[in-house]
């Protein structure tokens, strides 16, 4: 198979303002996706829209806010959404397949491997996997937050060639162009820095552009896994092909990184850290620049109650998360030997291996 392209479409692109599906827009996007598919690409669609599609059908006058109401609307809307996509793909002789995922699926290595094998088989059979969050069972603490994030995780999982996130803005601007006509569009980003995230907006920001920050954060997750990402507008015929070909109406996020093994993806993006370890500058350099393991001598502070085999986040002394790893120590053991050299550690505690985090069980997030 040729390269795989993951396309994310938000609910506002395929639903009407008053609720319900916009079948005309679904027909448009389906034709665009079918065009990519006809060129030999493996195509995976990550779509929102279940709640918006279902709330009027179930009898709500406006989009519900209570969790159980949204879950009820999603239960109805997801069936309508899939039926609409399947009807449209049938026009091109294509078969759509539904995959509903939750955060728990990604945090469990066995379950995410099963999901990966299913998706690979569907792509081998030239079907179109259509992925959405399982809103009928997801709760607040287990939700992805948005399908932008979900699309990045899926792109990493299947080692996609490219992620295309469709939005109502034609890319990232230095400021909100709806408020400042002098705002400058950023055509290409080589590295997603904190400054880029600030431009995209967020809590307390006055320059947020229609949920752009979540899309840039998704691009950061994707590019860390070696996935080139496009964020922009696909409104007219042929524009999805343009986006995939490198001259779409949006911003491209490049990466020099390589795709990550499933184990590293799980560690970096899906695992649930059970605590934090703060390290000094020497340990930070050893982990990030020298490919070394984390030893007790570099530890400054710990938080949390973790055990051998748990995942912890590692922070520098400025409080910035620099990576994650699987610990070999109990939390109390790390606390007891923090800052000590190897000989002193051996005198104080009995551990099977000296490394708190071995370099093979580590992933950098900087």
Annotated binding site for substrate: 48, 135, 147
In degrees rounded to 5, what are phi and psi of residue 86? -65, -40
The two structure tokens encoding residue 124: 């081998």
Angle at 144 between CA 232 and CA 214, to 5 degrees: 30
* Residue spans of beta strands (DSSP E) within the chain: 4-9, 42-47, 96-101, 128-133, 162-166, 172-173, 185-186, 188-189, 228-233, 249-253, 275-279, 299-304, 311-315, 321-327, 357-364
d(CA 84, CA 198): 38
The answer to whether 42 and 33 are in contact (CB under 8 A) is: no
Q: Which positions make up the binding site for ATP? A: 8, 167-168, 209-215
Residues 6+ apart with CB under 8 A from 349: 333, 336, 337
Which residues is 4 bridged to in the sheet?
42
Which residues is 262 bridged to in the sheet?
none
Residues 6+ apart with CB under 8 A from 228: 161, 162, 163, 222, 252, 253, 254, 255
For the beta carbon of residue 305, count every other beta carbon within 10 angstroms: 11
Residues 6+ apart with CB under 8 A from 134: 100, 101, 102
Q: Which positions make up the binding site? A: 8, 48, 135, 147, 167-168, 209-215
The two structure tokens encoding residue 39: 């060129």
d(CA 68, CA 70): 5
d(CA 286, CA 240): 43
Q: Residue 144 to residues 2, 162, 214, 315, 317: CA-CA distances in angstroms?
A: 29, 20, 11, 23, 29
For the beta carbon of residue 357, count every other beta carbon within 10 angstroms: 23
d(CA 293, CA 287): 6
């Amino acid at each position: 198979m040729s390269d795989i392209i993951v396309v994310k479409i938000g609910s506002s692109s395929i639903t009407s303002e008053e609720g319900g599906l916009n079948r005309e827009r679904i027909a448009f996007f389906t034709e665009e996706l079918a065009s990519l598919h006809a060129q030999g690409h493996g195509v995976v669609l990550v779509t929102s829209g279940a709640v918006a599609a279902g709330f009027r059908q179930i009898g709500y006058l406006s989009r519900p806010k209570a969790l159980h109401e949204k879950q009820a609307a999603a239960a109805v809307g997801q069936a309508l959404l899939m039926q609409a996509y399947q009807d449209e793909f049938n026009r091109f002789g294509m078969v759509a397949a539904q995959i509903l995922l939750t955060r728990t699926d990604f945090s469990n290595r066995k379950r995410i491997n099963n999901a990966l094998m299913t998706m690979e088989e569907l792509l081998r059979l030239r079907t179109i996997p259509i992925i959405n969050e399982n809103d009928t069972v997801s709760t607040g603490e287990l939700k992805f937050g948005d399908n932008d994030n979900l699309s990045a995780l899926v792109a990493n999982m299947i080692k996609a060639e490219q992620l295309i996130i469709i939005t109502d803005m034609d890319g990232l601007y230095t400021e909100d162009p709806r408020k400042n006509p002098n705002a400058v569009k950023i055509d290409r980003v080589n590295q997603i820095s904190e400054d880029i995230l600030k431009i995209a907006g967020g809590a307390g920001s006055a320059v947020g552009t229609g949920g752009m920050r979540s899309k840039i954060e998704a691009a950061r997750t994707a590019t860390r896994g070696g996935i080139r990402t496009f964020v922009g507008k696909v409104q007219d015929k042929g524009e999805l092909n343009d986006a995939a070909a490198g001259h779409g109406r949006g911003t491209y996020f490049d990466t020099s990184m390589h795709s990550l093994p499933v184990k590293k993806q799980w560690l970096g993006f899906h695992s649930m850290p059970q605590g934090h370890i703060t390290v000094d500058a020497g340990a930070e350099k050893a982990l990030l620049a020298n490919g070394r393991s984390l030893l007790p001598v570099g530890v400054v502070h710990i938080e949390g109650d973790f055990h051998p085999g748990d995942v912890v986040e590692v922070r520098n002394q400025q409080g910035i998360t620099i990576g994650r790893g699987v610990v070999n120590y109990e939390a109390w053991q790390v606390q007891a030997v923090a800052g000590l050299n190897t000989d002193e550690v051996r005198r104080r505690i009995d551990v099977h291996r000296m490394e708190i985090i071995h370099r093979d069980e580590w992933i950098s997030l900087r």
